[in-house]
Amino acid sequence: MKVFLMSLLTFSVAACVGKSAAPNSGSPPVANPAGAGTANASGSLRETALPTKRKMGVALATYFMSDARYPALAAREFDSLTPENEMKWSATEPNPGQFSFEAGDRLVEFAEQHAMRVRGHTLVWHNQLSPWVKGLNESELKSAMLRHVERVASRWKGRIAQWDVVNEAVDDQGKLRQNSPFTALGPSYIADAFRAAHEADPNALLFYNDYEIEAYDSPKTRGAYELVKDLKESGVPIHGIGFQMHVDPRGWPSADEMQKNLERFAKLGLLLELTEIDVPLGEIPGDAERKLARQSELARGVVHACLAVPACTGLTFWGLTDKHSWLSTPEWGPKKGRGPHLPLLFDESYQPKPVYHGVLAELAGR
């Protein structure tokens, strides 16, 4: 069944793209290293987004860099980079006080070589923690958190444009989540983390980042709004909020509703970033061609909402190709429903899908 659906998807991509995709085109006009995708004749995503003053971002992982197509396509299409896992706690501090920065260094250097902004992700999160963290008492945990934030943020001082300082602190009801060890420290831990990050790198813009806060009126959105509003009004050095935008096609707000919600957060004096965009195909009803068309429509809505709000400064897709999406992993894929998910702009062969051309057209105002 999977092979059959993939065949349908391949056929549909070809049918939707037609002759508009020219191999080895795009700008800068360089050779296509190792067959790295097919650029649109009207230019790359990063080029097309320039007049909008929005950054076009992608989450990258060092363990795929050995495939020459991967870094070449990323550098051509995007001007912002988020390390997918390389700056998380389990990667940077596997043992107490013993830090490892080599993987993060590699991505920061890659970004600098290709004129890409870097979004640091993430300093304090209840997932992907080193196991030793969960065994600490409250006093030890607070000390460990502050040390971790200081050491990691200062490592790339002046080289990280934005940090996701605290990630996913509220639950679906808008309360501090009970499955986070940091909740034991009380809500003040969030302000403490932001202050520590600001002290470590005063020039970095600091963000709170969360999922399912796209809809205007939901308990989680209200909880996130009150959280960042309180931080801002209390003088905590918070500069923005990240909306992850893991699209759920089974129930997703319209572009107008997302715009209205973004505008509400912007009125707090915050910058906005769409930080982890993907649109899982497996949750869209219909045949392969309809799935691809709907995927493009949903992604265009997300882009449209950002472009309509001046405070929305960037859009980051959570992965480069369907081949390497987190939704393709045995850990996360089955938890997110039917597959194959195929949620990104480029297929497993690094070719642009209809959703790529839809995003490109939205950026161009078409």
pLDDT, residue 338, reads: 60
- Would you call 353 exposed, middle or buried from its count of C-beta atoms within 10 A (0-12, 13-18, 19+)? buried
pLDDT tens for 94-113 read: 999 999 999 999 999 999 99
Dihedral sign from CA coordinates of 142, 145, 149, 150:
positive
Contacts of 143 (CB under 8 A, 6+ apart): none
Question: The tokens 């706690």 sit on which residue?
Answer: 89
Is 212 among the residues known to form the active site? no
| DSSP assignment letter at 254 | -
Q: 3-class SS at 176?
A: strand
| Residue 236 near residue 194 (C-beta atoms within 8 A) | yes
Beta-sheet pairing, 205-210 with 55-60? unpaired
Q: Is the pLDDT of residue 22 over 80?
A: no
What are 234-267's pLDDT values in tens digits?
999 999 999 999 999 989 999 999 999 999 999 9
The residue from 93, 168, 214, 273 that is catalytic is 168
Q: Which two tokens stand for residue 134?
A: 């969960």
Say which amino acid occupies 302: V
Q: Which of 4, 2, 9 is nearest to 346 (CA)?
A: 9
- Residue 147 DSSP one-character state: H
| Chain segment 189-232, per-residue pLDDT in tens | 999 999 999 999 999 999 999 999 999 999 999 999 999 999 99
User: Catalytic pick from 86, 276, 283, 362?
Assistant: 276
Three-class secondary structure of residue 330 per DSSP: coil
One-letter amino acid identity for 89?
Answer: W
The Cα–Cα gap between 158 and 306 comes to 27
pLDDT grade, residue 335 (50/70/90)?
low
Domains in the chain (CATH in brackets) are 21-363 (3.20.20.80)
Please compute the mean of the pLDDT values over residues 323-346 and round it to a whole number.
Answer: 81
Q: Tell me the pTM.
A: 0.88
Indicate if 140 belongs to the active site.
Answer: no
Instruction: Judge whether 207 and 238 are in contact, CB under 8 Å.
Output: yes
**Are the beta carbons of 13 and 344 closer than 8 angstroms?**
no
Strand partners, 208: 166, 241
Q: Which residues pair with 57 in a beta bridge?
A: 80, 316
| Terminal C-alpha separation, the chain | 36
Rg (CA), the chain: 20
The conformation of residue 177, written as its DSSP 8-state character, comes to P
